[in-house]
């Protein structure tokens, strides 16, 4: 089922390669399929084209964690905090701050 959703999103992006919803959706589906390196490509594209309020940075950090790059995960959470503050998402700021503390303890 996931592969068909991934295929559908890829086809949609062929028609409109800069569609933020399509890029984020494909990254999310690739993450669910544990295809973290591929998800990172689409998250990077999404974030270069769209000002996210913070949630995409959670997904970005989780991708980095799953491939074992704790430093990059921390960076993603830090950027997510900046965006969450900008959009007044205080609970997200708190969540990401806790994640950063846990990750720093792992280094």
- pLDDT tens for 60-99 read 999 999 999 999 999 999 999 999 999 999 999 999 999 9
1-24: per-residue pLDDT in tens?
Answer: 568 999 999 999 999 999 999 999
Average predicted confidence (pLDDT) for the chain: 96
Alpha carbon separation from 40 to 54, 59, 97, 100, 101 (Å, rounded): 15, 9, 21, 19, 23
Give the predicted TM-score (pTM) of the model. Answer: 0.93
36-47: per-residue pLDDT in tens?
Answer: 999 999 999 999
Please report the domains of the chain, with CATH numbers, ordered by start residue.
1-50 (1.25.40.10), 52-107 (no CATH)
Beta-carbon neighbour count of residue 14 at 10 Å? 9
Spatial CB neighbours of 95, under 8 Å, sequence gap ≥ 6: 58
Residue 107 confidence class, pLDDT cut points 50, 70, 90: confident
């Amino acid at each position: 089922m996931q592969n068909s959703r991934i295929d559908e999103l890829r086809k949609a992006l062929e028609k409109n390669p800069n569609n933020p919803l399509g890029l984020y959706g494909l990254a999310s589906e690739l993450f669910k399929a544990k295809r973290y390196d591929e998800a990172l490509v689409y998250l990077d594209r999404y974030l270069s084209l769209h000002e996210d309020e913070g949630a995409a940075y959670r997904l970005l950090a989780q991708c980095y964690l799953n491939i074992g790059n704790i430093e990059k995960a921390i960076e993603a959470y830090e950027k997510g905090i900046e965006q969450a503050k900008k959009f007044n998402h205080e609970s997200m700021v708190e969540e990401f701050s806790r994640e950063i503390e846990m990750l720093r303890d792992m280094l």
